[in-house]
Each structure stands twice: as structure tokens, then as C-alpha cells.
Amino acid sequence: MTHFNLEADHTGRPLRPKVAVDTVVLAFTEGRLQTYLLKIGRGPARGKWAFPGGLVRAGETLDDAARRELRAAGVGPGIHLEQLFTFGDPRRDPRAHVVSVAYLGLLADQGEVSPPAGKYVDGRWFSVAALPTLGYDHSLMARRAVGRLRAKLGYTNIACNLLPGTFTFSELETLYAAVLRRRLDRRNFRRRILAMNILRRTAAMRRGAHRPACLYRFAQRTAQIAEIL
């Protein structure tokens, strides 16, 4: 491939930008916010880690494209997606001018991920606190994704997309504390969350090594705005 083929067609006319989607997949496990990265098997970012993504096809919505690329990367359909930001620097991909619509993807269950194939040679979870070097501009995407999540924890019920159907108050608090990177007072946290009336207490209890804990679920798992923190 010559340089001319990369930026222009065979008549010398510059190519229009292409459209891609990329999804920052986040999950909360082992008390840490983690993200799913794929090792790229080909192209200029070969050997680097990157978020699942690829070109949008003709006639396809952006959400559909993101879900199709996630499926190809082994990520299950239960993921919550929301648009994050569109990255359009013409040099973000050295091969061609590719405009990428980035998504934030939240997964309640890490088990919903199976090994990838095709253009990827490996897939792994990383703590967002210690990411490897990422390909393209995916570090920017990661920063923006965590920033968005952090902001929305404060005024929406977005946490429901990172937790299983039922969970204890401790788990919810650990999630908030980990994402916001600060300690929370257990009593104040509990009072505020309960005051919002977005949780329902279930009859079940979580039994473990110590005193059992009440299990709660979100009253609604659909997006909901409410002053939280």
C-alpha cells in the first residue's frame, strides 16, 4: 500500500471520512471499576490494546453498529449503551480519516463476555486505575467515559447498569466510593439513597461470612434523573 492509496481514491480525489463506533466497556467487579480491552491483531495499532469497535455499515444506526461490533468482540447483548463523544481528528487513525462515535457501555455482569475472534487476538479486563498503553486515541475515550460515569452517578440511577438485579447497600456504596475515589459515610449515604425512593428492599438476604445483609433492587432499571449526591 502506498501513501496515496490511504488518503485518496485511484482518481486522486481525497476520500471522504469514514464513520466508526468504539465502546468503552465498563464493569464493576472485585471492588474496582474495570474495562474490557482487546488486543489488536492487525493494522498500525497491532499489539496494542483498544476498545471494541469498527466501521459503521450503510443503512445501520450508530447504536446498531456499536452492538454488532460488541457481539463480534464477545460482549453480550445485555450491555447498557449511551453515546459519549465523537472523535474526529483526521490523524487519530494513521491509515485513513476515520470519525469515531464513542459509546459508554455498562455491564452488570462480567460473565457476559466471551473470548473474541477475528481481528482481535486477546481480550482482558483491566482496572481503569492501571490501563496499559492504548491504540489510537482510546486513552482519551477512557478518560471521558469514566468522567461521564462519575458525573452521572451524582444525578441519575446509572449505577443500576453496573449492578446485578439485587445487591446490598455495601455493594452500592463500594461502587460509588470506587468511581468517585473518595470515602462515603455509610449512614449518610444510606439515608440519601433511601430518601430518593429509587430502591426497593427485597425479602431476600445475602448470607456470607458474617452478618447477613438485606438485598435491594432498583425500582426502575430505565434511565432516571434524580438528585443523588
Partner DNA sequence: CCAAAAGTGTTGGCTCTACACCCATGA
Partner DNA sequence: TCATGGGTGTAGAGCCAACACTTTTGG
Contacting positions for a second copy (CB under 8 A)? 7-8, 14-19, 55-63, 65, 83, 85-86, 88-90, 97, 99, 101
User: In the bound complex, what is the minimum distance in angstroms from residue 128's beta carbon to a second copy?
Assistant: 22
Q: Is 1 in the site for DNA (CB under 7 A)?
A: no
Among 13, 16, 91, 211, binds DNA (CB under 7 A): 211
Q: Which is nearer to a second copy, 59 or 77 (CB)?
A: 59
Q: Tell me, by CB under 7 A, how many residues bind DNA.
A: 19
User: In the bound complex, what is the minimum distance in angstroms from residue 196's beta carbon to DNA?
Assistant: 10
Q: Is 185 in the site for DNA (CB under 7 A)?
A: yes
User: In the bound complex, what is the minimum distance in angstroms from residue 87's beta carbon to a second copy?
Assistant: 8
Identify the CA nearest to 32 among candidates 177, 213, 196.
177
Among 3, 13, 16, 187, binds DNA (CB under 7 A): 187
Q: Which is nearer to DNA, 2 or 188 (CB)?
A: 188
Choose the contact partner of 56 out of a second copy, DNA, none; CB within 5 to 8 A by kind: a second copy
The pattern of x and - marking residues 139 through 168 that bind DNA according to CB under 7 A reads -----------------------------x
Helix (H), strand (E), coil (C) string for the chain? CCHHHHHECCCCCECCCEEEEEEEEEEEECCEEEEEEEEECCCCCCCCEECCEEECCCCCCHHHHHHHHHHHCCECCCCEEEEEEEECCCCCCCCCCEEEEEEEEEECCHHHECCCCCCEEEEEEEEHHHCCCECCCHHHHHHHHHHHHHHHHCCECHHHHHCCCCECHHHHHHHHHHHHCCCCCHHHHHHHHHHHCCEEEEEEEECCCCCCEEEEEECCCCCCECCCC
User: In the bound complex, what is the minimum distance in angstroms from residue 30's beta carbon to DNA?
Assistant: 13
Chain positions contacting DNA, by CB under 7 A: 168-170, 185-188, 190-192, 207-214, 227
